[in-house]
Amino acid sequence: MGAELFESSQAARETFEEADDSLGFPLSRLIFEGPAKDLQNTANSQPAIMTVSVAAWRTWQEMQGPQAMDAKAVAGHSLGEYTSLVAAGVIEFSDAVRLVRKRGELMNQAAVNRPGAMAAILGLNELAFAQICDETGVELANINTDDQVVISGDKIAVARAMDLASARGARKTIPLPVSGAFHSSLMAEAKAGLADAVQALNFKAPKMPIVGNCDSKSLSNADEIRTELVNGLCQCVQWKDSVRHLVDSGVTQFVEFGSGGVLAGLIKRIDRGVKVTTVSDTASMRKLAEDKS
């Protein structure tokens, strides 16, 4: 993950080195070499994913210069919000990578104290999802598309909700390989620690609109952003509505920075009329630059 960027881009190499220096340990070695068990620990995976995404964004800036900043807005799904803050100039990357490391540690401890699980459910409408939540006590963690959500909560409740969903016609139910019930009330004890960490940092006004997860509206100042980050630990990621808000505001092309292409796939399902591109290496960036020209 991110190795090609490291080898090809000075901006990417500097990003990985900055992450290592900021955290005080070789995160880049863990990203490139593993072991997978250590990388999958949420306290490591969160700064790792954000570092790769920021490395991709900075490589794009390196290639495009001032033209790289012609975005109408930025948004991120859960952890991705932190990358969007860096891209919008709200927070320095060195602060952001330490903040998401702290976020991961707090979430991991909350998961140990109040164990839980998450699962994706595909093929039902929102009313059916809401009824299943009411009957089982699970919570909606992500509303990704019209017919895809992620549920979160107590392990037994999540298993029961998956069974109910299957019985009511869900196309697929997928238990997620995560360490806790993220974006649910089981994360509540992590909020105070994250609030303290967020409050200690200098947040600047965004250079471009940032569409938040919790209410799918543009965040315009530091206080709104701080509140969004803290509340996001327990509240549902309203990704479907965030994308629709962007489309309604005039966005016709989405570019996903970072490894994989999960968000690009979701966006295509939300609105087939927009153009979506994933850039994770220099080849995909060159193609995007050619398309834009």
Q: How do the domains of the chain map onto residue ranges?
A: 3-112+189-234+241-292, 115-175
Per annotation, catalytic residue among 22, 152, 179, 183: 183
Question: What pLDDT is stored for residue 293 in this prediction?
Answer: 61
Neighbouring C-alpha atoms within 13 Å toward the C-beta of 112: 9
Q: Cβ(140)–Cβ(157) under 8 Å? A: no
**The CATH number of 115-175 is which of 3.40.640.10, 3.10.640.10, 3.40.50.620, 3.30.70.250?**
3.30.70.250
Q: Of 51-55, 65-69, 166-170, 217-221, which gets the smallest average pLDDT?
A: 65-69
pLDDT in tens, 32-63: 999 999 998 999 999 999 999 999 999 999 98
From the list 210, 262, 238, the residue with the least C-alpha distance to 75 is: 210
Quick check: is 216 catalytic?
A: no
- State how far the Cα of 293 lies from the Cα of 288, in Å rounded to an integer: 9
Quick check: is 183 catalytic?
A: yes
Per annotation, catalytic residue among 8, 78, 185, 218: 78
CATH of domain 3-112+189-234+241-292: 3.40.366.10
Q: Mean pLDDT, the chain, as a whole number?
A: 94
SS3 at position 285: helix
